[in-house]
Amino acid sequence: MSPFILLAVLFAAFLHASWNAVVKVSGDRLVVMAVTTLSCAVLVSPLLFILPAPARESWVFLGMSAVLHGIYMLLLIKAYSHGDFVQIYPLARGSAPLLTALLGFIFLRETLEPLELAGMFCIVAGIFSLTLNRNSESQPLSSPALVYSLLTGLSIAIYSISDGTGARLSQNPHSYAAWMFFLDGFIIPSVAFFRRRTLLISIGKTVWKQGILVAVLSAIGYWIIIWAFTQERIAMIAVLRETSVLFAALISALIIKEVFTRQRALIIAFMVVGIALLAV
């Protein structure tokens, strides 16, 4: 993997951890995500008239993307309602690379070299270790939290394969990304309107700043990932993207004020070794 792609994906991982932290600490997460996806759609709208249209072959994947991203966000919101950020986020993200690598091999015939597999093992093992490394102030990982986190991970793997394939077929990953974010702006706001109509109207006015912040962070971060999918194997990008858990652990300690232990520091160091192996 080239150093430029490596650094770009690590930056995207940092942005991903940042917007997830904002969602975790926000009042009503469904409303925040509704404001976020709607804001994203509005922000990218001008680009639809500037960028060339994606190739016809990619439109089926754009449609799938809108549905899959909606499912992912609803599962993520549900998971966060059952556990700590430092538990839910690593578990959801940690299960995704293994599933993505498996789906990538089955459907795209993408393979990984021994050192790359070792790097993936270090990163995934570190992610799951962060989930299990629970301090005395953390709530136990409940069965609903475990189930929703793993379902979130499965949805991540499926939309990664779908978006990677769609971006490659689109002949222009930037056009694909713009249309993807535009189409994403319909499902979650619609769900929020029917489930939280009164709340959406009343507190939407107060969380719009958080919504726009999450929109900008998530759009830039995933835009980079979509581009990277066209430059490198999807599984490689997917596992490197999940190093966002490193940043999530730091954010949980420095901003959310969840306890950061020595064991977590050692786990993070182990994951850094994994990043180094992927970069070789």
Cβ contacts of residue 257 below 8 Å, gap of 6+? none
- The rounded percent of the chain whose pLDDT value lies above 90 is 27
pLDDT in tens, 57-74: 999 999 999 899 989 888
Please tell me the pTM assigned to this model. Answer: 0.85
Q: What is the pLDDT of residue 68?
A: 92
pLDDT at 126: 83
* Average of per-residue pLDDT across 161-170: 94
What is the residue range of 145's domain? 3-279
Question: How far apart, in whole angstroms, are the C-alpha atoms of residue 17 and residue 166?
Answer: 24
What is the number of domains present in the chain?
Answer: 1
Tell me the average pLDDT across 99-113.
Answer: 85
Q: In whole angstroms, how large is the CA radius of gyration of the chain? A: 18
Residue 45 has pLDDT above 60, yes or no: yes
Is the pLDDT at 17 greater than 90? The verdict is no
Query: 87-91, 149-153, 267-271: which has the minimum mean pLDDT?
Result: 87-91
Task: Output the pLDDT for position 93.
Answer: 76
